[in-house]
Amino acid sequence: MASCKKKTANQKNIVAIWNIVEFQAPDMNSTAMAAIQQSSNTSEFTKKGAIIMTVGGEKMEGTYTTDENVSSITATISGNTSNYAISNYSVSGMTISSDKDMMKLSK
């Protein structure tokens, strides 16, 4: 059973409140992007697999899973499931990206 597997050090380190320091979404309109860039944006990953994102003043909640190496993440928010690659991962920062969108996070 996957939920009984011991978490790796990297999987434990992702559990935190991260600041979204850069956000790129080419398909988003410029007004929405400006509102996001002027806001305090965070992404919280909990031990129990919940994700709580506050972006542009809007709070979104869902669930997430990562692979053992924390090189990818699958997030389900508002019923929509998306897969993302994780790069430049360290205990203090990471980049999460899809084909079009990108977020740089730091603690």
Ordered per-residue pLDDT tens for the chain, 107 residues: 344 567 787 788 899 999 999 888 888 877 777 777 777 899 999 999 999 999 888 899 999 999 988 899 999 998 999 999 999 999 899 999 998 889 999 99
Determine contact, residues 55/37, Cβ cutoff 8 Å: no
Provide the pLDDT for residue 29.
Answer: 78
Q: CATH for 2-106, among 2.40.128.280, 3.30.365.10, 1.10.3720.10, 3.30.565.10?
A: 2.40.128.280
Which of 28, 40, 30 shows the shortest CA–CA distance to 102? 28
Phi and psi based region of residue 47 (left: phi greater than 0; alpha: psi -120 to 50; beta: remaining): alpha
- pTM over 0.85, yes/no: no
From first CA to last CA, the distance across the chain in angstroms is: 31
Determine contact, residues 46/15, Cβ cutoff 8 Å: yes
